Structure 1
């Protein structure tokens, strides 16, 4: 089933020059980029984006980190995009992520884990609207 998923290359991935490598992995896997931009996430956007974690002790750190520098946001489209992309990025804690996954190869810690990807269709529907508008999408 063709799906869309949101992927963020976080400030650590941008800072470390990993944008091209990460995008290449998704393109080689056959995903289409149907929306993409480099941006700084505002504090209100970050608070809304991570609102599902608002009651957790690490919420403030998530908001601080994602707003600490530029990010690359993209929408990928392809077969079973949500589950395939989640498998490609690996476990949230980069120290536990399998080698060969994006986090396994590049993450430095549970926070500096290079990328975010939607974990369900519901998450995608909520998350992409925080970063993109319908006018940002292209088809080809």
Structure 2
């Protein structure tokens, strides 16, 4: 049994559409535990740090505008193999490839507004938890 922690963020579209409860319920029904959670408004500096690997992409200004358009809901989620499990529950980043039954497949409207973020590995989870929860 490998107990892990990961960082999960419900993006502005999830908050605006009042999907927090629905998505949290799906995470908990999967058997994972939310050990920390908070509503946050992100500034451009934090967004640039979080998406540093995308700063040079032509779509970054739209991403930044989207991520500053409203609050996000950040969570530390724990459980057995939670990083891989949450990635599967979320579905692919490209919402057009996300199958029904995944969070993105059921709720995301486009690739920019794709509802949810989750750490992709242990190292990223550690960095992101520290970034958003200190």
TM-score by structure 1 length? 0.91
Measured after TM superposition, the shift of residue 94 of structure 1 is: 1.4
What CA deviation, in whole Å up to 9, does each residue of 1:84-121 have, x standing for no partner?
A: 00000001121220110000000000011100000111
Aligned partners of 1:97, 1:81: CA distance in 2, in Å? Answer: 19
Aligned partners of 1:57, 1:67: CA distance in 2, in Å? Answer: 17
Contact 1:50/1:62, CA 8 A, preserved across alignment: no
Give the equivalent residue in structure 2 for 1:24. Answer: 25
Structure 1 unaligned runs (5+)? Answer: 134-140
TM-score by structure 2 length? 0.95
**2:91 equivalent to 1:90:** yes
- What is the CA RMSD across the aligned residues, in angstroms? 0.9
Give the equivalent residue in structure 2 for 1:136. Answer: none
Q: Which runs of 4+ in 1 moved over 6 A?
A: none
